């Protein structure tokens, strides 16, 4: 097949793994990346667009292809405030997904989070739940949502709090009955995203925690 994939968040832990896997896949002839800074990768399949997410009208028409992989995200500390994080984690991702659907992209996979719930009292869980629900209404033929637990792998940025949580999770999930909450490698989530768009029937599918390991 000669598919075109679109990736946002391609310099993050999961997004970078998605990009690497897509570039290796023979089914794809082109991989479009939209990001604020270069991935630093040179590849004949790669079409890189360095963009300003606040000026979407300048590049909206370029969001065309067969599949969209959305792995954009940040932390409150890095963003500077909850409002700024909401803009990146919700607004940018939703607007890109909406534009992709309007431009004829048929399939969409999103990285969410364990515990995502639009009614949650926790800001991050509520944010993720709102996005999960919002994209459900977009006219894609197939939508898959990954809700991993703590992500494991090498990041391009330092997140001390996340590293501490990862160490605790590795110990905590050795307790019988808690294995499904174990950390998951970013590459495993990336594989799950790609496989889900190849294997799942049309519709809206959420993959919780342990389910992603089996995709």
Q: Are 145 and 112 a contacting pair, CB within 8 Å?
A: yes
Return all residues near 26 (Cβ < 8 A) that are at least 6 apart.
Answer: none
User: Hey, what are 109's tokens?
Assistant: 């996979």
The residues with which 151 forms a beta bridge, in sequence order, are: 184
DSSP conformational letter for 165: H
User: Which residues have CB under 8 Å from 32's CB, separation 6+?
Assistant: 4, 5, 6, 7, 47, 48, 49, 62, 63, 65
Question: Does 134 reside within a domain?
Answer: yes
Of 123, 117, 70, which Cα lies nearest the Cα of 98? 70
List pLDDT tens digits, range 104-162. 999 999 999 999 999 999 999 999 999 999 999 999 999 999 999 888 656 555 545 45
pTM, to two decimals: 0.89
Q: Which of 37-41, 56-60, 66-70 has the lowest mean pLDDT?
A: 37-41
Asked if residue 57 is part of any domain, the answer here is: yes
Question: Could you read off the pLDDT of 59-113 as tens digits, one per residue?
Answer: 999 999 999 999 999 999 999 999 999 999 999 999 999 999 999 999 999 999 9
173 located within any domain: no
Residue 62 placed within a domain? yes
Q: Which domain holds residue 122?
A: 3-156+185-214
For CA atoms 148, 192, 12, 58, the dihedral sign is negative
Bridge partners of residue 46, in order along the sequence: 31
**164 domain-assigned:** no
Structure-token pair, residue 206: 């959420």
In a domain, 29, yes or no: yes
- Residue 79 falls inside a structural domain: yes
When divided into structural domains, the chain yields a total of 1
The CATH number that applies at residue 18 is: 3.40.50.720
Task: Say if 175 falls within a structural domain.
Answer: no
């Amino acid at each position: 097949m000669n598919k075109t994939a679109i990736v946002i968040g391609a310099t993050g832990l999961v997004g970078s793994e998605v990009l690497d896997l897509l570039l290796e896949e023979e089914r794809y002839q082109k991989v479009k990346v939209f990001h604020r800074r270069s991935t630093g990768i040179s590849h004949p399949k790669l079409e890189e667009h360095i963009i300003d997410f606040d000026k979407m009208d300048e590049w909206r028409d370029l969001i065309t292809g067969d599949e969209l992989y959305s792995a954009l995200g940040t932390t409150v500390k890095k963003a500077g405030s909850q409002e700024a994080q909401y803009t990146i984690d919700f607004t940018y991702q939703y607007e890109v997904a909406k534009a992709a659907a309007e431009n004829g992209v048929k399939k969409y996979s999103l990285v969410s989070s364990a515990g995502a719930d639009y009614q949650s009292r926790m800001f991050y869980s509520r944010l993720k739940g709102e996005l999960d629900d919002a994209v459900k209404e977009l006219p894609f033929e197939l939508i898959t949502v990954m809700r991993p637990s703590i992500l494991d792998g090498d990041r391009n940025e330092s997140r001390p709090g996340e590293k501490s949580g990862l160490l605790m999770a590795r110990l905590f999930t050795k307790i019988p009955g808690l294995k499904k909450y174990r950390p998951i490698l970013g590459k495993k989530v990336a594989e799950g995203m790609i496989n889900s768009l190849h294997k799942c029937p049309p519709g809206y599918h959420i993959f919780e925690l342990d389910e992603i390991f089996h995709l």
